[in-house]
Amino acid sequence: MRHLLFAASLAIPAALIAAANASSAAAQSPGIEQACMAVAKHFLLAPVLKTGIVQSFPELDPPGARLTYSTRENPQPTDFNNVIECEFGKAQPPFGLVRFCVSDTCYSPTEDEPERQRRFQEVKALMDRQK
């Protein structure tokens, strides 16, 4: 009997952890993730983009995604050291790109540098054409 209680006490925390992981995975948004990947491809002029870790946050204001990527043909795990973050106007299509950051440099319509504003407008125009 003591062994059954001990086994049950171990199973309960494992079940709670599994439920927590399932709910966090459910919060992911494949649409927002795909949109952020498209932003990265447009910005980098890369037809192929290999992704590492991809996270999306449809419940935040503004909704967004963050991902690690590599443009190498056969990337190794250590090659995924580039990061792009995207923010959108809404969590459903059409998402409406609001801002994106590559590494520590951000691009939006309100950036101080005209070049960054222009690059944002270019990527946004390409995203709008995909509708």
SS3 call for 45: coil
SS3 call for 67: strand
- What pLDDT score does 48 carry? 87
**Spatial contact of 87 and 62, defined as CB atoms under 8 Å apart:** yes
Mean pLDDT of 32-54: 95
- Report which of residues 15 and 44 the model is more confident about: 44
Mean pLDDT of 20-44: 79
pTM for the full predicted model: 0.78
- Report which of residues 130 and 131 the model is more confident about: 130
Please give the Cα distance from 131 to 127 (Å, whole number).
Answer: 7
Dump pLDDT digits (tens) for 72-129: 989 999 999 999 999 999 999 999 999 999 999 999 999 999 999 999 999 999 999 9
